[in-house]
Amino acid sequence: MIVAEQKSLDEIKQSISGFDKVLVLGCGTCVTVCFAGGEKEVGILASSLRMATRLDGKPVEILEATVQRQCEYEYNESIVDLLPQVDAVISIACGIGVQTMNEQFPEILTLPGLNTTFLGQPTEQGVWEERCQACGNCVLGTTGGICPIARCAKSLLNGPCGGSQNGVCEVDPDTPCAWHLIYERMTALGKQELLLELNAMKDWRTSRDGGARKIVREDLRL
């Protein structure tokens, strides 16, 4: 899931200064799960903004709405009638939702209310940890389903560095060494011999280099 956290109230309030009427727009998928941008958070942020702008002597009228997925045009159609009523939108979706809104409705400015952080997994109540960097060349099949790109501080592909001690990463004593986890996993599976096979140098061209990435499924195109 995409993990995000809400910007400070002061930053959001500053971003809407100069507007008289604003829509706070939530998203019902990833950011709802991490308690950053769902319907409940829309209500809390809207109330906070009303109160804060009123105390500043510059009250802003705040509308509220939540769509199922801001990253898809069809779901955003449900708020078409609201947009002519406001001067701007505060999106508490991930950065993809913010960009989708600006592309779909270029006549109105959609501003971010969240900081999009990483692709992660909820590991316990109120805790999310990074599990994937969307690097475009998945190696999970050779590492027991544990990602060394996202979970190793140095993104090493062929075993741990010399700084790993007692299964702990040298970067942070609270961070387990990814390669220690991989070794334990492959041992449990009885496949330690696979770790003796050297992985080739990673081709980072499938990651963030070279501009925005795109996948085209010709079998799904009209």
Residue 161 lies in a domain: yes
Tokens coding 104: 């779909």
Chain segment 12-43, per-residue pLDDT in tens: 999 999 999 999 999 999 999 989 999 999 99
Q: What is the pLDDT of residue 12?
A: 96
What average pLDDT is seen over the chain?
90
159 is a domain residue: yes
How many C-beta atoms lie closer than 10 Å to residue 209's C-beta? 10
Q: Are 111 and 45 in contact (CB under 8 A)?
A: no
pTM of the model: 0.81
Q: Where do we find the tokens 């109105």? A: 108
pLDDT at 88 over 70: yes
Residue at a domain's end among 118, 153, 186: 118
pLDDT tens column, 200-217:
887 777 776 555 556 566
Query: Does 181 reside within a domain?
Result: yes
Which stretch of 49-63, 99-113, 132-146, 151-165 has the lowest confidence by average pLDDT? 132-146
Same domain, 104 and 176: no
111 and 146 inside one domain: no
Model pLDDT, residue 199? 84
The 3-state secondary structure of the chain, one letter per residue: CEEEEECCHHHHHHHCCCCCEEEEEEECCHHHHCCCCCHHHHHHHHHHHHHHHHHCCCCCEEEEEEECCCCCHHHHHHHCCCHHHCCEEEEECCHHHHHHHHHHCCCCEEEECEEEEEEEEEEECCEEEEEECCCCCCCHHHCCCCCHHHHCCCCCCCCCCCCCECCECCCCCCCECHHHHHHHHHHHCCCHHHHHCCCCCCCHHHCCCCCCCCCCCHHHCC
pLDDT recorded at residue 211: 56
Average pLDDT on 101-111 reads 94
- 192: nearest Cα among 146, 142, 148, 156: 142
pLDDT of residue 75 exceeding 60: yes
Over pLDDT 70: what percentage of the chain?
Answer: 94
Rounded average pLDDT over 110-118? 92
Task: Judge contact between 120 and 138, C-beta under 8 A.
Answer: no
Of the ranges 52-56, 141-145, 157-161, 187-191, which is most confident? Answer: 52-56
Which residue segment(s) compose the domain that 83 sits in?
A: 2-118
- Torsion angles phi and psi, residue 44, rounded to 5: -65, -45
Closest CA to 131 of 97, 178, 91: 178
Q: How many domains does the chain have?
A: 2
Classify residue 14: in a domain, yes or no: yes
In the predicted model, is pLDDT for residue 3 greater than 70?
yes
The answer to whether residues 94 and 4 touch, using CB atoms and an 8 Å cutoff, is yes
Q: What whole-number distance in Å separates Cα of residue 43 and Cα of residue 36? A: 12
Asked whether residue 198 is domain-assigned, the answer is yes
Verify that 140 and 195 share a domain, yes or no: yes
Distance CA 81, CA 103 (A): 17
- 105 falls within a domain: yes
Q: Name the residue with higher pLDDT: 139 or 42.
A: 42
CATH number for position 106: 3.40.50.2300
Joined tokens for residue 76: 């955003």
On whether residue 7 sits in a domain, the answer given is yes
Whole-number pLDDT of residue 157:
92
Q: Residue holding tokens 């979970």? A: 151
